[in-house]
């Protein structure tokens, strides 16, 4: 069962932020959204997660209108990691990740296990008792990632689960970028649908089943990375000359600029 957006348009104070955008995220697949700054990627994520209501069009989760789900049920199926989270209170990493268990009633012991597992998954077990306010940018981002992972750690009988990530790797070093992509692929194999905004085209090409290229509020192209990433499209959308090669190991498209 999918997370879908149909014919979304979004007008805010005279600006057309999104124009007739349609998108379909199947459970068990990874969708990457790329595009220049200000193309409307974040706006689309906000519409897709119910934070903003579209002016025209509708969003549905598991074949039901997004707004029709009870908030708590929705939270069991849809976890969202925003680009920035300003948390100015000295929670420990354990406590931050435990916030991801709020929609569930699984009991303290089970939650503690899930919190520990989620922190381990993002290579942050050593942060457990450290204060969030004293962590580096990359550490904070990993703890937040663990929080949304903990939110959808177990399947729910309500429907398929989805994870929405807004630039999850922006503060990460190479090894943690790679780790994030592995986590995302692993989730997809277990049946979770993942949508993420990425800036790095090569990262996107490497892990996405479906690549959506955004340009000034509309979708310029969508499909498999092989179909979508062409020299013509990149110069059209990003205004940059490039060469598309093949990754020697993964055989995925490799954008060289």
As to burial, measured by CB atoms within 10 angstroms (0-12 exposed, 13-18 middle, 19+ buried), residue 103 is middle
CA dist 50 and 67 (Å) reads 7
CA angle, 105 then 82 then 195, to 5°? 85
**CB of residue 231 vs another protein: minimum separation in angstroms?**
38
User: How many chain residues interact with another protein (CB under 8 A)?
Assistant: 29
User: Toward another protein, which CB reaches closer, 17 or 219?
Assistant: 17
Name residues contacting another protein, limited to 136-165 (CB under 8 A). 151
Name residues contacting another protein, limited to 81-140 (CB under 8 A). 82, 84-92, 95-96, 99-100, 102-103
User: Toward another protein, which CB reaches closer, 85 or 235?
Assistant: 85
CA dist 39 and 76 (Å) reads 30
| CB distance 11 to 55 below 8 Å | yes
Q: Three-class SS of residue 203?
A: helix
User: Toward another protein, which CB reaches closer, 85 or 250?
Assistant: 85
Helix-then-strand count for the chain, H and E: 9, 12
**CB of residue 81 vs another protein: minimum separation in angstroms?**
9
Taking CB under 8 A as the criterion, the residue among 20, 58, 75, 216 binding another protein is: 75
Taking CB under 8 A as the criterion, the residue among 7, 12, 15, 51 binding another protein is: 51
Name residues contacting another protein, limited to 170-199 (CB under 8 A). none
**CB of residue 56 vs another protein: minimum separation in angstroms?**
22
User: Toward another protein, which CB reaches closer, 70 or 256?
Assistant: 70
User: Toward another protein, which CB reaches closer, 80 or 114?
Assistant: 80
| CB distance 25 to 83 below 8 Å | no
**CB of residue 212 vs another protein: minimum separation in angstroms?**
21
Contact status: 41 vs another protein (CB under 8 A): no
φ/ψ of residue 228, rounded to 5: -80, -45
SS (H, E, C) 154-179: CCECCECCEEEEECCCCCCCHHHHHH
CB atoms within 10 A of CB 113: 12
User: Toward another protein, which CB reaches closer, 46 or 206?
Assistant: 46
- Residues interacting with another protein, by CB under 8 A? 49-51, 71-76, 78-80, 82, 84-92, 95-96, 99-100, 102-103, 151
């Amino acid at each position: 069962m999918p997370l879908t957006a149909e014919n979304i348009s979004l007008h805010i104070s005279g600006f057309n932020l999104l124009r007739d955008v349609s998108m379909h995220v199947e459970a068990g697949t990874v969708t990457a959204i790329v595009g220049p700054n200000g193309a409307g990627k974040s706006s689309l994520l906000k519409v897709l997660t119910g934070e903003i209501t579209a002016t025209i069009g509708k969003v549905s989760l598991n074949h039901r209108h997004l707004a029709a789900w009870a908030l708590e049920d929705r939270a069991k199926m849809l976890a969202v990691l925003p680009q920035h989270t300003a948390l100015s209170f000295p929670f420990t990493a354990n406590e931050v990740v435990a916030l991801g268990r709020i929609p569930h009633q699984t009991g303290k012991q089970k939650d503690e296990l899930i919190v520990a597992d989620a922190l381990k998954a993002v290579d942050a077990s050593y942060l457990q008792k450290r204060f969030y306010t004293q962590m580096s940018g990359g550490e904070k981002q990993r703890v937040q990632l663990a929080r949304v992972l903990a939110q959808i750690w177990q399947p729910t009988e309500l429907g398929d689960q989805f994870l929405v990530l807004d630039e999850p790797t922006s503060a990460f070093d190479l090894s943690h970028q790679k780790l994030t992509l592995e986590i995302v692929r692993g989730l997809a194999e277990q049946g979770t649908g993942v949508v993420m905004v990425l800036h790095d085209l090569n990262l996107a090409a490497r892990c996405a089943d479906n690549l959506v290229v955004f340009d000034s509020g509309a979708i310029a192209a969508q499909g498999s990375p092989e179909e979508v990433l062409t020299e013509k499209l990149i110069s059209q959308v990003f205004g940059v000359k490039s060469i598309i090669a093949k990754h020697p190991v993964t055989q995925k498209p490799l954008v060289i600029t």
